Structure 1
Amino acid sequence: MPFVSNLLRSGTALAVIALAAQPAQAQTDDVGVEILQLLVDEGVIPLEKAQQLLDRAKKAAELRAQREAPKTSSTIDVPYVPEAVRNQIRDQVKAEVIAEAETKRWIAPNKMPGWLDRITLSGDFRLRYQANLFSDTNFPQFPDVNAIVQAGGSPRNDFPLLNSTINRYMLRYRARLGVEAKITDQVKVGFRLASGDNPGPVSTNETLGDFFQKDGIYIDRAFVELSPLEQVTLVGGRMPNPFVSTDMVWDTDINPEGVAAKLSYQFGEETLNTRLFLTGGWFPLQERELDPYDRNLVAGQAGVEFEPAEKLKLTVAGAYYDFRNVQGIRNAPDGSRLNDFTAPLFLSQGNSLFDLRTDGVTSLPGLASKFELVAGTGSIAYSGFGDIGVRLTGEYVHNIGFNRAEIAARRVGEPASVPPENYGYQVRLDVGHDKIAKLGDWQLGVGYKRIGTDAVLDIFTDSDFGLGGTDVKGYLIEGQLGVFTNTAIGVNWYSTKSINRAPFDVDVLQINLTSGF
């Protein structure tokens, strides 16, 4: 009967619920067991089904009993930990793990890999406006001797001219990027790239105004430096200038190529913090496979640096520069060109020249003088005004290889030339901060130069003063002011006149924006 069947099924469900709700110990005597037995007897459910219901109910009761059982000695209590304490524990563990990871170079959060600690990057960018302002009384027919040399000679009656009368206004830039890697405590490697209009030895300026053509990049430095002893440094390659000098002998952009050795010994305070230094080097200037007279420079310098009083430092150095085989050799009278190779790779303006050619049709200039220079450089610096320093620098150079009679003999048969001179000097005063590092830092320099015709090689002297070269005298004013971190605005003014040649007077104005790292 449906009603009875429904009642019996309801009874089965109630029996199971009753079994699950009772304590495990009382379930064997529970009336629910009797109900299940009655249902089996009446044939409502099979015996197997009843046993399954009974086993399931017992397991549920046992699990509930375990949850409600009292704690024993093996029970572990986990106390409540406040959030602040949990954060403190977390931060402490994190710091300990990071410290060990950094020490063992597993990982360094927000840091470069360890090998980069030995690498130093540097660079700078300078944007410059430059005005070359020529005198109206300048001689208009100066031959552009560097252009003639670069062309391998020119017709005698149609040679290129140097601009000496038309003012020039330019926008230029200089960009440099360098890297130095400390391989070990005794070995360092340096490399630097720089911009430039040409691969010449001095200027790294790039002049804008070529219909947006891409600009060239040159290797400005590439050298290795060894320090086998604390007092000894050996350098090879294209290196920073190893000599103490001013820009009268060496333009500040010069990076000699060759090998050099530097020795230095530092005494203690009881001897005025005296430091003795000695530098020597050999520098190839021009190497040719079939030329038995390779051009090279052999140079040496000795000097001393000491502090006669607190915050007062004196530096004195004497140098010897022997530029070997740079003098030209005239070709044979038959008009041959076998000695054209003795022409220099580059020329500026000012040095005594003569014509290597004898054909009567073309001309190729060569250097008429030898260059064996003796230079004395000295400076006195005072740093007793806080961040402001004062430095007075002087340099005198004398070309002892100069021979007036020899120069005249090489010029036999040529038109009258500029009377040669073999000495030069410079005096300069600098005041201000050592470098422009922040807003308000400043530097100011004033100076006077007089560079005789053959006092130095004209291709290596300052390329800004008189637009480069020798046979020039005048004064200079340079200044710059920090406007941001490592960023400065500067103004330079060079006013120069020729000494012995035809009038060549020029004022050079430069306005710079420089930033570096």
Structure 2
Amino acid sequence: MNFQPNRLAAMVAVTLALSVGQAMAAPAPAPSDNATVNLIRLLVKQGVLTQAQSDTLVRQAEAEAQQVRQAQAQRTAAAPAAAGGAVAGAAAGAAAGPDVQPGDVRVPYVPEIVRDQIRDEVKGEVMAQAKQENWASPNTFPDWVSRLKFSGDVRARDESHFFSDGNSNQVVDYNGLNRNGPYDVNSNTSHSLPPILNTRENRENRFRIRARLGVLATLPDDWSAGIRVATGSDDGPVSTSQTLGDDFEKKSIWLDQAWVRWKSPYHTDFTFGRAENPFMHTDLLFSDDLQMDGISAKVPNLKLTENTSLFGTLGAFPLEYGSDSWPSNSQDKGKSEDKWLFGGQLGSEWKLNDTNTLKGAVAYYRFDNIAGRRSSSCNLYQGEPACDTDWSQPEFMQKGNTVFLLRNIALDPNDPQDTPLPQYVGLASEFDLLDLNLQWDTETFNSMKLRLQGNYVRNLAYDEDKMNRRSDGQIVNNLDDDGHIQSGPNAWMVQTTYGRSLEMQDAGDWNVFAGYKYIQPDAMPDGFNDSTFHLGGTNAKGYYIGANYAINKLISVEGRWLSADEVYGDPLSINVFQLDLNAHF
């Protein structure tokens, strides 16, 4: 049993208090050197102490008793030698009784009500500590239980989407086209429209929930592991919200996190598995709900000076592995084509004074092999099961990126006009991102907190000439009337937050916030950023405002309004209102 010293001291104090209370109620016995020893032996018999711990305490008690006797002897030797003092001392000794010996300690009378009060207070404090630290009942739970820590949160939301009547009603859902496709783009043989996004009909007062439950296991030698499950309407990476309704059907639970971590002696944390985003970021580039699959090495806080520290992160994250048996209905299998995200970030935090902190970071993200590839000629009319670059379609998109038709489908020479042209789409641009983040925290009058944030992202790989060559002229969106690409490589945002607290930690905490975003179509992959602003993706610009209030330390409410329009192309104005009730435990 791993018995902590403060617990032992507390238990001994309780026993002594009870013993003293009983002893003082009866005539005081002569002082005995064996009282403490008997008490310790009793604790051994009850299983509270081991024999080794008992031996240590006995030696300590005897040493302390010896120190007390030596101190008393020194005080006796230094007593006044004057006759008057000697007579007074003799008189006092006689009054105390014939059995008083040099070195004895006189204990004044304590009323019984005071003794009971002291005993009850000490007992209550120690039992409260015992319950809090879980040592009141040793051996009740197995050892592994003490290594687990549970946490979770529940969010109940009322959400409304408002669309302008002037919006285009021809915005294709390319993510749905790929997932449900291929879609036949030959108007002579296709008798239905591709998937079209709702852009004009409002959707009001949708009740939604988010529930997450996680467990953290602390393991020996600075290892740890974590698992978390969460709700979600689908397996998309950027949202764990679940819409209610559906005739009271049960809701889905997904594996949101599963990781193993080692804290090395060199101030570096290594994490492998599915875990939270290890980079400093805003939701301009990565949604707050996005979890990353892969491996990362992070230096969270390396002190340079008393007020300056460095942090940095390296990571490799697989986005998609090529299928082992693609195409499934062909004897000739395609080669393995894997897609990856590689990232590196370096940042610093400066504590300028007691009320001002500046934090900044620069990051580079390379999205490897995610751009689409135009296929070689494929003879689908002859029964070929697929084209050789079908794998290059993105696994998940929201909206905004420039896309093109992947398949180079050969026409049936016997009926070229009526040859079906079932198509998938792929990303026209490559993505190598430079990401700059800056954050300043300060205090204003009455200790009010103020935070200013800025984030800038540029796609260094953006090149319209390469996009045209890669697509073989088959780009299907983000074009002007002359067929030229309307896009760009830049995105930025600014936000300010002001209030009693930046985090809702105590009852009565509050803050208000406001921000602006501007995201050109190919500044970043559209599949990973915030799914609320403009309902996700790129090619969006607009503002947002909101407020938070803490009902108590674990319950808070938040409301926000987001208003966004398109940057280029057909009109698409979307406003979103969200009212959240958040509970943490």
Quickly name the TM-score band, shorter chain normalised.
0.7 to 0.9
Cα gap change, 1:249 to 1:429, in 2 (>3 Å):
same
Q: What residue in structure 1 maps to residue 81 of structure 2?
A: none
Could you tell me which residue of structure 2 aligns to residue 122 of structure 1? 151
Q: Does 1:149 align with 2:205?
A: no
Which of 303, 308, 312 lines up with 1:274 in the alignment?
308
Determine if contact 2:212/2:228 at 8 Å carries over to the other structure.
Answer: yes
In structure 1, the residue corresponding to 2:378 is in which secondary structure? coil
Following the alignment from structure 1 to structure 2, what is the Cα–Cα distance between the partners of residues 455 and 480?
Answer: 31
Q: 1:391 to 1:160 in 2, by over 3 A?
A: same
Structure 1, gaps ≥5 residues long: 1-81
**Distance between the aligned counterparts of 2:154 and 2:370, measured in 1?**
35
Given the superposition, is the C-alpha separation of residues 318 and 415 from structure 1 closer, same or farther in structure 2, using an over 3 Å criterion? closer
Quote the Cα distance in structure 1 between the aligned partners of 2:556 and 2:130. 41
For residue 293 of structure 1, give the secondary structure of its aligned residue in structure 2: coil
Q: Choose the corresponding residue for 2:536, options 468, 473, 476.
A: 468
Partner of residue 54, structure 2 = none
The structure-2 alpha-carbon separation of the partners of 1:232 and 1:128, relative to structure 1 and needing over 3 Å to count, comes to same
Cα deviations by residue, 1:242-301 (Å, 9 ceiling, x for unpaired)? 1011111110001111000012411332xxx11111210100110123543310011100
Of 405, 415, 419, the match for 1:355: 405
Structure 1 residues 431 and 117: CA distance shift in structure 2, 3 A = farther
Question: Where does structure 2 lack aligned partners over 5 or more consecutive residues?
Answer: 1-110, 325-333, 380-385, 410-419, 480-485
AA in 2 matched with 1:395 = N
Deviation sequence 1:56-105 (CA, Å, 0-9, x none)? xxxxxxxxxxxxxxxxxxxxxxxxxx997997999799899989999x99
Match of 2:488 among 397, 417, 421: 421
CA drift at 1:348: 0.8
1:162 pairs, out of 197, 209, 216, with 197
Query: Of 487, 497, 502, which residue of structure 1 is paired with 2:555?
Result: 487
Q: Which residue of 2 aligns with 1:345?
A: 395
1 CA distance for matches of 2:490 and 2:128? Answer: 64
1:299-448 matches, within 5 Å, as 299-335=343-379, 336-359=386-409, 361-383=421-443, 388-409=448-469, 410=471, 412-413=473-474, 417-418=478-479, 419-432=486-499, 433-448=501-516
Q: What fraction of aligned residue pairs are identical, expressed as a percent?
A: 36
Task: Confirm or deny: 8 A CA contact 1:437 1:482 kept in the other structure.
Answer: yes
Instruction: Provide the aligned length of Structure 1 versus Structure 2.
Output: 433
Deviates more, 1:440-449 or 1:402-411: 402-411
What amino acid is aligned across from residue 315 of structure 2 in structure 1? Answer: G
TM-score by structure 2 length?
0.69
RMSD of aligned C-alpha atoms?
A: 3.0
CA pair 230-366 structure 1, distance change in 2 beyond 3 A:
same
Tell me the SS of whatever aligns to 1:267. Answer: strand
Aligned counterpart for 1:217 among listed residues 229, 237, 253: 253
- Show CA shifts across 1:101-135 (max 9, x none): 99x99853899776544322211111111111000
In structure 2, the CA distance between the partners of 1:415 and 1:320, relative to structure 1 (3 Å rule), is: closer
Could you tell me how far apart the structure 2 residues matched to 1:478 and 1:383 are? 20
The structure with the largest alpha-carbon Rg is: 1
Residue number in structure 2 paired with 1:201: 237
Distance 1:237 1:427 in 2: 32
Give the Cα–Cα distance (whole angstroms) in 1 for the partners of residues 254 and 262 of structure 2.
25
1:240 to partner: Cα distance: 1.1
Written as runs of structure 1 = structure 2, the 5 A alignment for 1:82-101 is none
Measure the CA separation in 2 of the matches of 1:177 and 1:148. 34
Alignment TM-score, normalising by the size of structure 1:
0.77
Q: Distance in 1 between matches of 2:134 and 2:241?
A: 43
- 1:258 matches 2:294: yes
**1:5 alignment partner in structure 2:** none
Conserved? CA contact 1:421–1:452, under 8 Å: yes
Asked if 2 retains the 8 angstrom alpha-carbon contact of 1:438 and 1:487, the reply is no
Matched, 1:232 2:293: no
Distance 1:340 1:92, change over 3 A: closer
Amino acid at match of 2:373: I
Mapped to 1, the partners of 2:229 and 2:123 lie a distance apart of: 43
Distance 1:252 1:444 in 2: 19
SS at match of 2:465: helix
Distance 1:415 1:396, change over 3 A: closer
Question: What is the aligned counterpart of 2:211 among 175, 182, 186?
Answer: 175
Q: What is aligned with 2:67?
A: none
Q: 1:515 to 1:95 in 2, by over 3 A?
A: closer
Compare 303-312 and 482-491 and name the one that shifted more. 482-491
Superposed CA deviations along residues 374-420 of structure 1, whole A, max 9, x for unmatched, are: 11111111146566321101011110111111112215155564312
Instruction: State the AA in 2 paired with 1:358.
Output: N
Rate the CA distance shift 1:490–1:97 in 2: closer, same or farther, 3 A. closer
1:149-187 deviation line (CA, Å, top 9, x unaligned): 111322225311111111112111111111112113611
Contact 2:405–2:423 (8 Å) recurs in 1: yes
